[in-house]
Amino acid sequence: MDVKITKLFFILTSMLLCVSCFDGTDFEQANDVVVTPEIELDLIYFNLDASNFYDNATNTEVLVVEDTTDLDFLGGSDINDILKGADFFFKFTNSISREFNVTFDFLSQDNVSKYIMQTNVASGSENNPVVSYFVESLDELQIKELTKAKKVLVTIAISSSSQDLTGVLTLQSKTTYYLQIEQ
Amino acid sequence: MKKFLFIYLFLGVSFVVCQNKQLLYNWEVTPQTLMLNPGSLITNQFHIGVPLASQFHLHVGSSGVSVFDIFADDGVDINTKITNTISRLSSRDFFTINQQLDVLNFGWLSKGFEPMYFSGGIYQELDAIAYFPKDIAVLAWEGNRDYIGKAYDFNDISARADLLTVFHFGVNKQVSKKLTAGLRFKLYSSLINVSSTRNKGAFRTTLREGSANIYEHTVTDLDVEVQTSGFISLDGLEQSQVSKKLLGRALLGGNLGIGIDAGITYQLDDQLSLTASLLDLGAIFHTKDTELYKAKGDYILDGIELIFPELENGESTIPYYDNLEDDIAREIPFDTLNTGYTQLRPTKINAALHYDFGRFVGDKGGCNCKNNGAKKKRVSQAGAHYYSIFRPRGLQMAGTLYYTRRFGNTLSIKTTYTLDHYSAKNIGAGMFLNIGGVNLFLAADNLLQMSNLAKANSVSLQIGLNYILN
């Protein structure tokens, strides 16, 4: 009786072990996993009064104003490896009765230009501010160049100015980053 | 026969440990039952486990996803399957792994004025649980572009892992004809612990008219913390040095803690019994080799505002980016601390009602005198078992209906149906073989999924080899 029971035990448990398996699966698929998040992030903004384009002290026009900021996160090697594209979106609202030419020059640490974006902003009025949009989509090759930059130089050029020029030029901007993370 | 047994054990232990599951509670034929209820009815005079083989337990589970859901060879792109899975899972879903290895387990009946069964031993345990961080997973997998306005909740991050050894000693006594009670004292020695379970706060990107820039990226009421112990002193060590250090901690050289198990068996009548136990009621005091990481605060990011300052020749521009980083660091300070912390053990509760029926088996005569008058066993037992464990997000519960059938004193078979977080169709079976006092037990759950474990939400097994003197 005991021998039979012992055999039964081994047979049943062996069957249990033998039938258990991973069936209908393909673990090689793990190599195909690609994470593709799309990140929306504010970039820069400003509110530039018309008075910035005239020097009251010297009574002269200021036809170009510029400012620079570091964008350290762009230049990292980690982001460079996974960034596959980006859309830069700029929204200008102009209540100054002048057109503007705006340049975004992405510079390396040594001030070498890596990528330039340029756009014109239509003139408006204080009673009727005009909104202009500018979108620049960068593919993988272009974004590789841009991510060599560490900062951006923003240059705003006005055709003419005067002491009684009024209004404000505002910029709001964002970037959509297309990341691709894979093995 | 011996050759057969050796081959069986070798194949079994090396192959099966990754695939099966077992429930030992109230299966009084195994000495390890005492580990689940120190107040179990014990009929042995003596038991000793084979060192490092008296019990091996492994459980791997996922409450909401199976291997098949992701890796099915069905022609569907794996990234689509992951996207669907993330969408389907909630932050209440969790992944667990629990592994125990009995290093030493022994027990004996003390036949003094007050007969008592003493038992003790050492076991090693790995226990980890991670809740699915739904919001963070969506953010990482898809980004925020399609989720403008959504709050990503840091409360979704909740995980804990412990590697420890437990030194225990317990006593079991038949208090009266109806009541058997037991108590077990435990000394924990933590090798490694990492825990992050009390996080709060949210990140949100909103599109709001009138805001300075296009979006507002807000971090609100952030309070996140990661506690670790046992890691920093391992940093930079060679593998052999790490092993040596961990071995030292395993032998009471780690962060220590104390706890108790308590349990009872109450015989309502000749055939109906009630059992209950409370396990791991205790805590570990992490005072050595600790490192805690904390971040707390609020912040609104809307990009970098340029103000076009008038600069004199050679004057450098405003460090907007550095200022932004400083602002964030000031508003959401990130601290690394080496303070101690206390962590409660995940306490478990068992309760069961079982009914013995059928003819008698086992000992001769109508009285089991070795067990102070306990009645003979019957061939069949049926019962209902409640189990719960305190996890970071509250109790996790399971209910089991079971039937045990004894074939003489040689073989006992137990079958179970379990309803838990993992499955509503969990059928299990366990077999216990006793040959001349040497006993081997093996049990597995999820038998319906056994033909394809990839479809199972959880797999576990218990296997052990002991010597019992009745």
Domain edges within chain B: 2-469
Please answer whether residues B203 and B149 qualify as being in contact, where contact means their C-beta atoms are separated by less than 8 angstroms.
no
When pLDDT is cut at 50, 70 and 90, the band that residue B13 belongs to is very low
Mean pLDDT lowest among A94-108, A138-152, B51-65: B51-65
- Count of other CB atoms within 10 angstroms of residue B398: 17
What distance in Å separates the CA atoms of residue B177 and residue B372, rounded to the nearest whole number?
8
CATH for A106:
2.60.120
Q: Tokens 């901690």 correspond to what residue? A: B249
pLDDT of residue B226: 97
Strands A168-179 and A83-94: antiparallel
List the single residue in B143, B214, B429 with the smallest CB-CB distance to A39.
B143
Query: What does pTM read for this prediction?
Result: 0.86
Please answer whether residues A39 and A177 qualify as being in contact, where contact means their C-beta atoms are separated by less than 8 angstroms.
yes
Collapse the DSSP code of A71 into the 3-class scheme (helix H, G, I; strand E, B; otherwise coil) and give the result: coil
A26 to chain B, minimum CA–CA distance in Å?
A: 5
Q: A156 lies in a domain?
A: yes
Q: Which of B250, B260, B102, B252 is nearest to B170 (CA)?
A: B260
Q: Which of B2, B40, B123 is nearest to B462 (CA)?
A: B123
Q: Tokens at residue B106, please?
A: 């022994």
Q: A29 lies in a domain?
A: no
Q: A7 lies in a domain?
A: no
Please answer whether residues B8 and A12 qualify as being in contact, where contact means their C-beta atoms are separated by less than 8 angstroms.
no
pLDDT of residue B372: 45
**Structure confidence by residue, pLDDT tens digits, B88-139:** 999 999 999 999 999 999 999 998 778 899 999 999 999 999 999 999 999 9
Mean pLDDT lowest among B170-179, B215-224, B450-459: B450-459
Q: Which domain holds residue A169?
A: 34-182
What distance in Å separates the CA atoms of residue B25 and residue B40, rounded to the nearest whole number?
9
Mean pLDDT lowest among A2-16, B160-174, B227-241: A2-16
* Residue A96 DSSP class: S
B215 class by beta-carbon count within 10 Å (0-12 exposed, 13-18 middle, 19+ buried): buried
pLDDT over threshold 60, residue B367: no
- Count of other CB atoms within 10 angstroms of residue B236: 8
Collapse the DSSP code of B34 into the 3-class scheme (helix H, G, I; strand E, B; otherwise coil) and give the result: helix
What distance in Å separates the CA atoms of residue B109 and residue B112, rounded to the nearest whole number?
9
Mean pLDDT lowest among A60-74, B251-265, B341-355, B372-386: B372-386
> What chain A residue is nearest to B144 in terms of C-alpha separation?
A39
Q: A13 lies in a domain?
A: no
Q: A23 lies in a domain?
A: no
Q: Tokens at residue A47, please?
A: 């509110």
List the single residue in B71, B320, B435 with the smallest CB-CB distance to A25.
B71
Q: Tokens 């903004």 correspond to what residue? A: A45
B210 to chain A, minimum CA–CA distance in Å?
A: 11
Q: Cβ A69–B304 below 8 Å, yes or no?
A: yes
Q: A69 lies in a domain?
A: yes
Q: Cβ B450–A16 below 8 Å, yes or no?
A: yes
Classify domain B2-469 at the CATH class level: mainly beta
Mean pLDDT of chain B: 87
Q: Tokens at residue B444, please?
A: 């597995």
Q: Cβ B303–A176 below 8 Å, yes or no?
A: no
What distance in Å separates the CA atoms of residue B34 and residue B186, rounded to the nearest whole number?
13
When pLDDT is cut at 50, 70 and 90, the band that residue B14 belongs to is very low
Please answer whether residues A150 and A70 qualify as being in contact, where contact means their C-beta atoms are separated by less than 8 angstroms.
yes
Please answer whether residues B58 and B18 qualify as being in contact, where contact means their C-beta atoms are separated by less than 8 angstroms.
yes
Q: A78 lies in a domain?
A: yes
* Residue B175 DSSP class: -
Q: Tokens at residue B73, please?
A: 């060879």
A166 to chain B, minimum CA–CA distance in Å?
A: 17
Kindly state the average pLDDT of the residues B410-433. 87
**Structure confidence by residue, pLDDT tens digits, A28-72:** 999 999 999 999 999 999 999 999 999 999 999 999 999 999 987
Containing B85, the helix (H) or strand (E) segment is helix B78-88
> Within 13 A of B391's CA, how many CA atoms are on the CB side?
23
Please answer whether residues B186 and B343 qualify as being in contact, where contact means their C-beta atoms are separated by less than 8 angstroms.
no
Domain count, chain A: 1
Kindly state the average pLDDT of the residues B363-390. 70
A78 contacts: CB under 8 Å, gap ≥ 6: none
Query: Which of A11, A29, A36 is the mutation pick for testing B, counting most B CBs within 10 A?
Result: A29
Query: Which of B204, B214, B300 is the mutation pick for testing A, counting most A CBs within 10 A?
Result: B214
Q: Cβ B143–A91 below 8 Å, yes or no?
A: no
Between positions 99 and 138 of A, the ones with CB within 8 A of B are none
> What chain B residue is nearest to A44 in terms of C-alpha separation?
B304
Amino acid at B458: S
Q: A53 lies in a domain?
A: yes
CB-defined contacts A:B, below 8 A = 177
Q: Across-strand partners of B193?
A: B162, B229
What Å distances lie between residue B409 and B173, B221, B259, B302, B364, CA to CA?
23, 63, 35, 75, 12
Mean pLDDT lowest among B15-19, B247-251, B256-260: B15-19
